[in-house]
Structure 1
Amino acid sequence: MATVTELKAVLKDTLEKRGVLGHLRARIRAEVFNALDDESEPPPPLSHENLLINELIREYLEFNKYKYTASVLMAESGQPVVPLDRQFLLRELNAFEESKDDSVR
């Protein structure tokens, strides 16, 4: 018969392999940042360059389904909640999309 310690270890390993623990840790971090966020003091203004960089990071995080990490970025950076228009982003970066795989080059 397995001990409680062994059962805890198996449960922890299973949740870790499924990615559940990572999601929970990220969600807790995001909630802590939201709770600590002082809404009476607005975040510093974003420069145009930082706005574009943050938007690229947000797109990367959302594409890879790192939604909790993206929520922390949004809470800390002051990035607009509504994503920038993709065509605007492409124009600003002098990039283009290939239609066959939707990648940016």
Structure 2
Amino acid sequence: MATEKDLMNAVRDSLEADGQLGRIKAEMRTEVMKLLEGGGKHKKSNRLSPPHDVLVLNELIREYLDWIGYKYTSTVLIAECELSKQPMERTFLAQDLGVKETDKSKSLPLLFSLIETFKNLKNNQI
């Protein structure tokens, strides 16, 4: 006969196997952060809107996290930075940053394009 501990271990193993345990932990961290900050569902944050550059940077980080598959980290970032559930349009971000997209760059996060631009600038200065 299975013990309560065996049942708990089986449930945990099952949740880990299908990736649900990570999602649940990320959601719990997000809710704990909201509670600690006093930002429950009925209370809006008193935090000032971040400057445009901070918002763009947060969106670039979100795009990278989503691209690499760090969905739980992305969920916590969205909650902590109070980002919109819908990400900024990539074309808007690219235009705002002055990034010229290519077929290759469109398959990668914009952060890669920025790194590539700085590498090219550095190589051209030598």
Superposition TM-score, scaled by structure 1 size:
0.69
**Alignment check: 8 A CA contact 2:65 2:74 kept:** yes
Alignment of 1:1-105 (within 5 A): 1-35=1-35, 36-37=38-39, 38-39=43-44, 41=46, 43-63=47-67, 64=69, 66=71, 69-99=73-103, 102-103=107-108, 104=110, 105=113
Q: In terms of Rg, which structure is larger?
A: 2
Runs of 4 or more consecutive aligned structure 1 residues displaced over 6 Å after TM superposition: none
More helix by share: 2
Q: Which runs of 5+ in 1 are unaligned?
A: none
Number of positions where the alignment pairs a residue of Structure 1 with one of Structure 2: 103
AA of the residue aligned to 1:27: E
Cα distance in structure 2, aligned partners of 1:93 and 1:17: 40
Q: Which runs of 5+ in 2 are unaligned?
A: 114-126
**Alignment check: 8 A CA contact 1:44 1:78 kept:** no
Cα distance in structure 2, aligned partners of 1:78 and 1:7: 38
Identical counterparts, % of pairs: 37
When the two chains are superposed, the root-mean-square deviation of aligned CA atoms in Å is: 2.8
Q: 1:28 to 1:40 in 2, by over 3 A?
A: closer
**Alignment check: 8 A CA contact 2:62 2:74 kept:** yes
Q: By how many angstroms is 1:58 displaced? A: 1.9
